[in-house]
Amino acid sequence: MLKRLAATIGGLALALGGAVAAAPAAVATPQGCFYQVLEQHPEADPAVVEHACLTAADGSPEGVLACYFELRHDYIPAQLALDACRRASQE
């Protein structure tokens, strides 16, 4: 009985650890893209950022590229724009 209890508790701890490790992937959405840009570049135009992040949400390389250029047109730093657009395109 004690061995079963220890195994169950160990399995539960591993399962919870896996859920915590997967949590950052849950933020990979257009909303995550939007907040990433505005947190790191607060002077960005929220309407432009929202439109760009939604453009990348389809996951296509063309959508990511369009998102990137739209953010760069609003003077968002290149690496931030690329990271945010990639984040929006992941599901």
Task: Quote the strand ranges of 1-91, DSSP E.
Answer: none
**Domain assignment of residue 41, yes or no:** yes
Spatial distance between the Cα atoms of 15 and 59, rounded to a whole number of angstroms: 29
Range with the lowest mean pLDDT among 19-23, 53-57, 64-68, 87-91? 19-23
Please state the domain count of the chain: 1
**Domain assignment of residue 52, yes or no:** yes
Confidence of residue 90 (pLDDT cuts 50, 70, 90): confident
Mean pLDDT for the chain overall: 81
0.85 exceeded by pTM: no
Specify the 3-state DSSP secondary structure of 62.
helix
**pLDDT given for residue 29 in this prediction:** 83
Structural domain boundaries enclosing 60: 25-89
**Domain assignment of residue 1, yes or no:** no
**Domain assignment of residue 58, yes or no:** yes
Confidence of residue 4 (pLDDT cuts 50, 70, 90): low
**Domain assignment of residue 82, yes or no:** yes
